[in-house]
Amino acid sequence: MSADLGFTCTCCGERHAETPMNFSSPAPAYWQPDMEQVRDCLLSSDQCVIQGEAFFVRGLIELPVIGRDDVFSWGVWVSLSEKNFERASELWETPGRESEPAYFGWLSTDLLPYSPSTINLKTMVHTRPVGERPFIELEPTDHPLAVEQRTGITMDRVRELAEAVLHPKH
């Protein structure tokens, strides 16, 4: 693995000491801040329920970085059926939960560097050992995010993604 020597941002001209290798969304795209006070709504660091009708878990879309041993990851939210959400919740602190079959879900985070939108891409949610966020596998389509998950990205692409997230209006 090569050392990360940071990068000079083409948007702000600043030198960043390290290249960010992950970004995360605090809530599903459908969550509104005023929902914190609404009955049957919940937002924790790993799970979200909206009005007792929409159910989400947080997981990681991992993109292999070509020529490196690590990955770039997006912390995202995926909607699950009520049945699968209840099952995932039931097993949340259970050792061995990673042997559970994957759950189908819909990506519920809009990753702005990508076009078309990432909202509602089909996914499979793979549970990992207790303490680890689920791995989110995208349906193998021609969507740019799905292609990057399958084929990997370069460190130059990681820097492009970092600039797009750090300077969204640029």
For 95, phi then psi, to 5°, come to -60, 140
Percent of the chain with pLDDT over 70: 95
Give mean pLDDT, residues 65-76: 96
pTM exceeding 0.85: yes
For position 170, what pLDDT does the model report?
A: 58
Q: Which two tokens stand for residue 102?
A: 């994957």
Whether residue 19 has pLDDT greater than 90: no
Evaluate whether 114 touches 105 at the Cβ level (below 8 Å): no
Enumerate the β-bridge partners of residue 55. Answer: 49, 80
| Distance separating alpha carbons of residues 135 and 133, to the nearest angstrom | 7
Whether residue 9 has pLDDT greater than 70: no
For position 18, what pLDDT does the model report?
A: 84
Q: Kind of pairing, strands 122-126 and 42-43?
A: unpaired
- What is the helix (H) or strand (E) element at residue 149, kind and residue range? helix 144-151
Name which residue leads in pLDDT, 17 or 88.
88
Whether residue 57 has pLDDT greater than 80: yes
For position 1, what pLDDT does the model report?
A: 46
Q: What's the whole-number average pLDDT of the chain?
A: 93
Domain ranges of the chain: 23-152
Closest CA to 71 of 149, 167, 170: 149
9-13, 105-109, 146-150 — which is least confidently predicted? 9-13
Per the document, the length of the chain is 170
List pLDDT tens digits, range 108-166.
999 999 999 999 999 999 999 999 999 999 999 999 999 999 999 999 999 999 989 98
- Please state whether 105 falls in left (phi above 0), alpha (psi between -120 and 50) or beta: beta
Task: Give the rounded distance of the alpha carbon of 141 from its chain centre.
Answer: 17
Tell me how far CA of residue 49 lies from CA of 36, 125, 141, in angstroms.
Answer: 10, 17, 28
| Distance separating alpha carbons of residues 91 and 130, to the nearest angstrom | 9
